[in-house]
């Protein structure tokens, strides 16, 4: 179960990391993907909160970096983090009662690409 995310951002998404509960309930934290720039934002999801959509913008710099991220849950939304007025919008909704349980990324000094792991 996804417990929280930490995003570093300014005019783009510089870095991200997340925490999750394993099958045995133990909390695990991932390393940081991306650089050390931007301001740090922490999001802690409530025990009953489920991430249903990731949205944002990309392409404001070299055409592929994430410029903003928003996490939509059954309780509301967190974000946007970064600069949502720049770039091309995207949205990754989860359907049929599923939920986001983790992420995978590609990054250099900024977040270049993202994907989601979904539990049905």
Residue ranges covered by each domain of the chain: 2-119
51 vs 75: CA distance, rounded Å: 9
- Residue 110 Cα distances to 61, 64, 83, 93, angstroms: 10, 10, 13, 23
Please give the CATH superfamily to which domain 2-119 belongs: Jacalin-like lectin domain (2.100.10.30)
Residue 62 — very low, low, confident or very high, per pLDDT cuts 50/70/90? Answer: low
Gap between the Cα atoms of 100 and 96, Å rounded:
12
pLDDT of residue 17 exceeding 70: yes
Give percent above pLDDT 70 in the chain. Answer: 98
- The continuous run of DSSP H or E covering 30 comes out as none
pLDDT digits (tens, 9 = 90+) for 77-96: 999 999 988 889 999 999 99
pLDDT for 70: 97
Query: What per-residue confidence (pLDDT) applies to 104?
Result: 86
What local confidence, expressed as pLDDT, does residue 46 receive?
Answer: 96
pTM over 0.75: yes
Round to whole Å and give the CA distance between 37 and 116. Answer: 23
Q: How many CA atoms lie within 13 A of 11 on its CB side?
A: 5
How far apart CA 82 and CA 86 sit, in angstroms, is 9
How many other CB atoms are there within 10 angstroms of residue 109's CB atom? Answer: 13
Instruction: Return the higher-pLDDT residue of 79 and 31.
Output: 79
Compute the distance between CA of residue 10 and CA of residue 39 in angstroms, rounded to an integer: 6
């Amino acid at each position: 179960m996804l417990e929280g995310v930490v995003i570093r951002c300014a005019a783009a998404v510089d870095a991200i990391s997340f925490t999750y509960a394993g099958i045995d309930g133990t909390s695990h934290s991932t390393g940081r993907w991306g650089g050390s720039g931007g301001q740090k934002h922490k999001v802690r999801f409530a025990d009953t909160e489920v991430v249903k959509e990731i949205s944002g913008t990309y392409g404001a710099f070299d055409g592929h970096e994430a410029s903003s991220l928003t996490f939509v849950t059954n309780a509301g939304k967190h974000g946007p983090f970064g600069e949502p007025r720049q770039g091309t919008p995207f949205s990754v909704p989860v359907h049929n009662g599923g939920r986001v349980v983790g992420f995978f990324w590609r990054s250099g000094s900024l977040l270049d690409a993202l994907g989601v792991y979904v539990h049905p």
